[in-house]
Chains A and B, each alone.
Chain A
Amino acid sequence: MLKQLIPRPVLSLTVLLLWIAITNAGSLGLLLLGLLLAVIIPRLTLPFWPQAPRLANPLRALRFLGVFALDIVVANWGVARRIVGPSERLSPALVEIPLDLRDPFLATLLGSIVSLTPGTVSIDVDQKHWVLLVHALDAPDPQALIDEVKNRYEAALKEIFAC
């Protein structure tokens, strides 16, 4: 019964929390409306969603969020210095990162993480050969970049989703 009402409980919870964030949980009426949306929206969008892998290790995920936030700050500083400095000293590179992940959702997630950390933008997630194509603003040593992405982010994602 409950499973029929909310087929994707995590998605419903996300919708509800977002609604609370947007409306600042102003009144009981708004909260009820949010509950209604949390039931309706996941049902309407059900066909769009890929079968997302299960979150196996929530604590590890929280720790990863912390590391990720810190990385954004540190790497932003690096990019800022490169923007202000002489641009002919930069060595931009297109780097192909071979993936161990075999899940479309996780590969896309990894691509987004790479894009959000400064200095790298993911250009293509090739799901036929499982290669992530990345453009780096300044990568004199492409192998170091590959190792960093694989050890720092891909390994963490594999642990978090246990695959």
Chain B
Amino acid sequence: MNVILLLIAASLFLGGCGLAIFLWSLRTGQYEDLDGAANRILFDHDHPKR
């Protein structure tokens, strides 16, 4: 049954990664302009640098 220790550790690690990525995306303001994000995918690549 020792494999369960490994599995628990693995699942917590993966879940923790997901949580960390979500918190990062939240902190960098990626949820602040959902309407804009929906439209931006339609812009061309000649979009000026910013």
User: Are A and B bound to each other?
Assistant: no
> Which residues of A are at the interface with B, using a C-beta cutoff of 8 A?
none
> Which residues of B are at the interface with A, using a C-beta cutoff of 8 A?
none
